[in-house]
Amino acid sequence: MNEQLRADGSLRHLITLENLPRPLIERLLDRAQSLVRPLGARPPVSRALAGRTVANLFTEPSTRTRVSFELAAKRLGAEVVNLEVQLSSRVKGESMLDTVFTLQSLHIDALVIRDAEPGVPGTVAAHVAPHVSVLSAGEAHVGHPTQGLLDALTIRQHKPNFEKLSIAVVGDIRHSRVARSAFHVLRALGVADLRIVAPPALMPEPGEFPGCARHTTLESGLKDADVVMMLRIQTERIAQADLPDAARYYASYGLTSERLALARPDAIVMHPQPMNRGIEIASEVADGPRSVIRDQVRNGIAVRMAVLNEVLAGRSAG
Ligand code: NCD
């Protein structure tokens, strides 16, 4: 979807990482890296987006993504409005686009959208005025581009040579927007050995994730992996009757220290959170020395600052 780019090649919207040019991805990761600070240090602040306004429009729950988009915008000097969707007019039947046009009339420059329905960020992007940017903060099972970028940044901080990496993405791949965005960005960065590991019922349709080896056991999928990315079962996207039994799932697919020993000794463990300890991951692993899960959160704000800066500071004056 190259409608995301302006004529000069800069980013206007961020809806998907699919087909995003590698130099643009690397520019965003480099900028994000320059904004990462150790915990306890003062985070970088600027006035780069002074006078701009960012609206968060979330119709699905979110902690990390919403808070980090808000802090990212504020630390760049922008104003932020958070739409409480249960209070907004959407419950009165006002369409998403009418809400968007209202925000546009209030001089909103960027809309950050999370929605359970596929296609919403793209539809909004197709209808907004030319100066408005749309950023997906999670689109159904389809994509979560800033998560993909923060995952790539986290991997790069530990293992910069993407071409040589073996990466296992484990869990509910079928319903995961995190897995789809990881696939797009890691492919663009040259990862050749990208494996998806899931029980058959949580595997994506054939044809999805082209070129990825599919493993239905954790034991085969983790072998000699450099990076293990664990995912939550997307219960909100699965009918009650089809939900796997939690104890049985943990017995076969839960990441324990014992199973992690099958990966390379220096493998890193990732999880986008929220985590279900004792279902997809053991606490000893989540909190253990190989876990970079908290780094992912720290990197998330840097990535969102880089993206907001790219779409808003890059736009023509006005
Ligand atoms: C993820 C999401 O919403 O897709 N959370 C996040 O943004 N870090 C993962 C999940 O909900 O499982």
If the chain, 318 residues long, is cut into consecutive pieces of 10 residues, what is the mean pLDDT of each piece?
A: 84 97 97 96 96 94 94 98 76 81 96 94 95 97 98 98 98 98 98 98 98 98 98 96 95 98 98 98 98 98 98 73
Q: What is the pLDDT of residue 94?
A: 75
Task: Please indicate, yes or no, whether residues 136 and 238 belong to a single structural domain of this protein.
Answer: no
Task: Please indicate, yes or no, whether residues 137 and 257 belong to a single structural domain of this protein.
Answer: no
Q: What is the pLDDT of residue 121?
A: 95
Could you tell which of 65, 114, 178 is best to mutate to test the pocket of ligand 1, judged by most ligand atoms within 8 Å of the CB? 178
Contact 250, 281 (CB under 8 A): no
What is the side-by-side order of every strand in the sheet holding 110-115? 79-84, 53-58, 110-115, 133-139
DSSP code of residue 195? E
Within a domain: 20? yes
Range of the domain at 278: 145-292
Q: What is the pLDDT of residue 87?
A: 61
Q: Take atom 12 of ligand 1 and give the residue whose Cα is closest.
A: 232
Could you tell which of 67, 229, 273, 277 is best to mutate to test the pocket of ligand 1, judged by most ligand atoms within 8 Å of the CB? 273
Task: Please indicate, yes or no, whether residues 62 and 179 belong to a single structural domain of this protein.
Answer: no
CA 298 to CA 64: how far, in whole Å? 10
Task: Please indicate, yes or no, whether residues 105 and 213 belong to a single structural domain of this protein.
Answer: no
Q: What is the pLDDT of residue 128?
A: 96
Task: Please indicate, yes or no, whether residues 129 and 155 belong to a single structural domain of this protein.
Answer: no
Task: Please indicate, yes or no, whether residues 228 and 308 belong to a single structural domain of this protein.
Answer: no
Task: Please indicate, yes or no, whether residues 95 and 115 belong to a single structural domain of this protein.
Answer: yes
Task: Please indicate, yes or no, whether residues 58 and 9 belong to a single structural domain of this protein.
Answer: yes
Q: Take atom 7 of ligand 1 and give the residue whose Cα is closest.
A: 65
Task: Please indicate, yes or no, whether residues 179 and 169 belong to a single structural domain of this protein.
Answer: yes
Q: Take atom 8 of ligand 1 and give the residue whose Cα is closest.
A: 272
Structurally, the chain folds into a number of domains equal to 2
DSSP code of residue 234? -
Q: What is the pLDDT of residue 91?
A: 67
Task: Please indicate, yes or no, whether residues 137 and 7 belong to a single structural domain of this protein.
Answer: yes
The count of C-alpha atoms lying within 13 angstroms of the C-alpha of 236, restricted to the half-sphere facing its C-beta, is 10
Contact 243, 201 (CB under 8 A): no
Within a domain: 318? no
Q: Where are the alpha helices (DSSP H) in the chain?
A: 22-34, 64-75, 96-105, 120-127, 145-158, 177-188, 218-222, 246-253, 257-260, 283-286, 293-308
Task: Please indicate, yes or no, whether residues 239 and 303 belong to a single structural domain of this protein.
Answer: no
Q: What is the model's pTM?
A: 0.96
Q: What is the pLDDT of residue 84?
A: 75
Within a domain: 113? yes
Å from CA of 273 to ligand 1 middle: 6
Q: What is the pLDDT of residue 1?
A: 46
- Closest atom of ligand 1 relative to the 144 alpha carbon: 4
CATH number at residue 126: 3.40.50.1370
Pocket of ligand 1 (CB under 6 A): 64-65, 138, 144, 147, 177-178, 232, 272-274
